[in-house]
Structure 1
Amino acid sequence: MLTRRALGALPLLATPAIAQPAWPNGPVRIVAPFPPGGSVDTVSRLLQQPISAELGVPVIVENRGGASGSLGTAQVARAAPDGQTFVLVFDTHATNPALLPNMGFDTRRDLAPVLLLGTAPNMLLTHRTRPWQNMAEVVAAARARPDAITYGTIGNGSLAHLGMVLAQRAAGIQLTHVPYRGGGPLATSAMAGETDLVAATGTIFVEHLRQGVLRPLAVLGPRRRASLPDVPTMAEAGLPGVEAEAFWGILAPAGTPPAVLARMEAAARRATEVPEVRERLTTIMGIELRNEGGAAFGAFLDRQIDVWGRVIRENDIRPD
């Protein structure tokens, strides 16, 4: 027979299970901190339905562009750590701390890494109306006319921009940078041939490449892209040390319960394994899936922040 003392202890034993809040307890919001039409928006919406199916609640993608992704990310950094709000960041997340010291949040302290989805090398492309067929011709033209050749990126401090800073240093040339406010505006500009060159991941230029509107010149990465095997790396084109790989990853407000982070990580990971999603991300967008969890993603971000912060300081890069 249970004593009064034993009976009194039973609720205490059950308390931890009862005290755990149900999650998710409503719609989950993923902030895409760039305008519609870019790679962050595309990746967010590819994951939206599969994650919703895994969690059993609606998933809402909300575009909050501005300040190289820092405005939308700041909103998430200040959100309640209840598992209802996440952010899908791009490579500018690692460069903004050195560029924008007054962002209103601390990148390392105020956000919890959930999952590094994948990476992709940036590329240098040119509009079909321009004459250059390879990097050697671009370099020769730039040496003949310093500052006359323009190149567009998603914005100051993006890894495409910093990669091109390294390329110019390696080649001994000077180009004119034209920053846009995200991949959507850059894609529109690229289609119209507003700049001579475009530096970007290529994830949003699939149709441009297929139609021949843009001509790829070089890959800013350690190896050629499988989908474009004839396009050399910058090193192969005679410019060693020019590598700038973009990345996409999910973060949550710091203090979000570990169990919630683990479940969101698993849901996002499984979303990338849906055949249609995986095909779009890897074959069409050219993203190399990494699916590295919170600890590994945090270490990755630390390295990126340190490496690119040094490039920004050494080259006196300023925000838009």
Structure 2
Amino acid sequence: MLTRRHMLAAGAVALAAPALAQTAAWPNGPIRIIVPFPPGGSTDALSRLLQPRLSAEFGVPVVVENRTGASGSLGTAATARAAPDGNTWVLVFDTHAVNPALIPNMGFDTERDLTPVLLFGTAPMVLTAHRTRPYRSVADVLAAARARPESVTFGTIGNGSLAHLTMALFEKATGVKLVHVPYRGGGPLAVAAAAGEVDLPIATRPAIGPHIDSGALLPLAQTGATRSATMPDTPTLAESGAPEIDARAFWGFLGPARLPEPVARRMEAALRSALAVPELRDRVAGLGIDLDPQGGAYFTRFLSSQIATWGRVVRENNIRPD
């Protein structure tokens, strides 16, 4: 005779069977990583570094798809609306935490409709000056901006980006008024920065690092609360007259909501395995990312905090999308 314990155990197995079957069959086709920005930026570079490792791990093609627009929200929306079958993922940047306040009608809920899988790491942004400009310190910038308000320009990866919000805090803290020039992603900004289109490009080192290394851009300050080990000689904005600014970009990997937990865990393990390869890890670190992989639970809490913090800055400064 079947006991009640046997019946409960059989029921649990029956309920788990579909998820287990789906996990066992996954991946059952090409895996797509959506990059919600144009080629040439840090999200694109990181995705393409991971691509061959993931393909070898899973034994299926891994396709990187650049789906741009609306500060990264269009590509992210495609993932949020995808079937939770483990075949569609997105690699996001810090705009992911700003968009809920900046774009209220995205068509998906950032926290409800996606599954955080792995936070790769963070990095401060770098406020730079093109070598043809006279600025060699933040003090030089402040002096020029106070002498001629709205004469100094700064360039970012887009309106409402973390760099834009950070400079809004900088203006409020120092009392100066600058002119914002938004570009459509890290690639376009990097090209414009090297050409000297704006006075002060501000972005992560992954986006503009090569132009810092070449001498085309001169680093004036970094935006973290403390100096990054990758830029120990560059002062922070807080050290340069703008106290209490702590702004760090981040890179993270997400899938759709209702993703089977075993699939999410297997993808997280594959990503960690790829990042553990010394050659790949060195290349990622070479992008300027301070690698510190954190799993889904941590990433979920991190995103909630970032969304609350930068949403408040958007509202207080009445920032609107392009």
Structural mapping, 1:104-119, within 5 Å: 104-119=107-122
Matches within 5 A, 1:71-86: 71-86=74-89
Q: What 5-or-longer segments of structure 2 have no aligned partner?
A: 1-9
- Please name the residue that 2:246 is paired with: 243
Picking from 287, 290, 293, the partner of 1:288 is 290
- Identity fraction in percent: 62
Asked if 1:256 corresponds to 2:241, the answer is: no
Is 1:121–1:220's contact at 8 Å kept on the other side of the alignment?
yes
Deviation at 1:17, TM superposition (A): 5.7
The residue number in structure 1 matching 2:221 is 218
TM-score, normalised to structure 2, is 0.93
* 1:133–1:12 CA distance, 2 compared to 1 (3 A): closer
Q: Which residue of 1 aligns with 2:21?
A: 20
CA RMSD of aligned residues (A): 1.8
Contact 2:117–2:254 (Cα < 8 Å) also in 1:
yes
Contact 1:33 1:63 (8 Å CA) reproduced: yes
**TM-score, structure 1 normalization:** 0.94
Contact 1:30 1:87 survives alignment (8 Å): yes
Residue aligned with 2:40, SS:
coil
Q: Are the aligned partners of 2:209 and 2:288 in contact in 1 as well (CA < 8 Å)? A: no
Matched, 1:307 2:312: no
* Residue 37 (structure 1) aligns with: 40
Residue 275 of structure 2 corresponds to residue 272 of structure 1: yes
Contact 1:50 1:274 in 2 (8 A): no
Q: Does 1:182 align with 2:185?
A: yes
Deviation of 1:13 after TM superposition, in Å, equals: 9.9
Specify the alignment match of 2:5 in structure 1. none
Tell me if structure 1 keeps the 8 A contact 2:222–2:234.
yes
Q: Deviations over 1:247-277 (max 9, x none)?
A: 0001111011111011011111111111121
Report what 2:232 is aligned to. Answer: 229
Query: In structure 1, what is the Cα distance between the partners aligned to 2:152 and 2:219?
Result: 16
Per-residue displacement from partner, 1:72-110 (whole Å, max 9, x unpaired)? 000111001100000000000000000001111111111
Q: What runs of 5+ residues in structure 1 fail to find an aligned partner?
A: 1-10
Give the conservation status (yes or no) of the 8 Å contact 1:89–1:249.
yes
| Residue among 312, 317, 320 paired with 1:318 | 320
- Cα–Cα, structure 1 residues 258 and 143, in superposed 2: closer, same or farther, change >3 Å? same
Higher mean alpha-carbon deviation, 223-232 vs 185-194, is at 223-232
Paired residues, number: 311
- In 1, Cα distance between equivalents of 2:147 and 2:284: 40
Q: Residue deviations 1:102-161, cap 9 Å, x none?
A: 111111111111111110001100100001110001000000111111000000111111
Corresponding residue for 2:49? 46
Contact kept, 8 Å, 1:225 with 1:286, in 2: the verdict is no
